[in-house]
Amino acid sequence: MSTTRRRFVLGVAALVPLPFVARRLHGLAVASLDPVRLRALAAAVLPAELGAGGLERTAQAFEQWLAGYRESAELLHGYGTGEIHVTGPSPALRWAAQLDALGPSFASRTVSERQAEVRAAVGTGRFAGFPPIDRAPHLALGLLAFFYDSPEATDLCYRAAIGRNSCRPLATSARMPLPLATGR
């Protein structure tokens, strides 16, 4: 989707804030994400240790996550409270624009050059923890938040097959997790 067209669509969305319009815009924005540039971004911000396969898996999973995002979905009400909260607006339009803004030559640059561009794009604030994925102010931060929230990231950090949140036999829980297999 071109920048001009995206501006037009955003303008229409502001005038007609109907759920089906939002869903349609979300779908258009997801479809417009440049897969090559997204993977170039992933290679710049995610650890190289993931390897080409891991980077591709993460990029694909991120695309699926974004495609599956639903606005105004009821969130789990927390422990000790009955307050109801819902998911916010889809980040897809915002992130698609940010990916566009990295420019057509982004993918052909070196990793360090791309990292410098990302730093410039996300600003110079003080960074601490990860934002909620959908509220990440920049696509790069959303991608980082997505990956580092994953069981795969935990396994990579500990270099062990912990397999958080996956179905594993109870009987094996008593032993130290096995080292990660190489060649991921």
Query: In the complex, which residues of this chain contact another protein (CB under 8 A)?
Result: 44-49, 65, 68-70, 73-77, 79-82, 84, 87, 111, 115, 118-119, 122, 125-130, 132, 134, 141, 144, 148, 151, 153-154, 156-158, 160, 162-171, 173-177
Residue 97 Cβ vs another protein, minimum distance, rounded to whole Å: 20
CB of 82 to another protein, least distance (A): 4
Which of 127, 161, 152 shows the shortest CA–CA distance to 59?
152
Q: Which is nearer to another protein, 33 or 69 (CB)?
A: 69
Q: Toward another protein, which CB reaches closer, 12 or 75?
A: 75
Alpha carbon of 78 to those of 62, 75, 85, 108, 109: distances in Å?
A: 26, 9, 9, 45, 44
Between residues 47 and 89, which has the closer beta carbon with respect to another protein? 47
CA-closest candidate to residue 58, choices 166, 149, 164: 149
Structure tokens given for 133: 């994925």
Q: How far is the CB of 21 from another protein (least distance, A)?
A: 21
Q: Give one DSSP letter per residue of 130-163, joined into a string.
A: PPPGGG-SSHHHHHHHHHHTSHHHHHHHHTB---
Least distance in angstroms from the C-beta of 128 to another protein: 5
Instruction: Please give the structure tokens belonging to residue 18.
Output: 């109907």
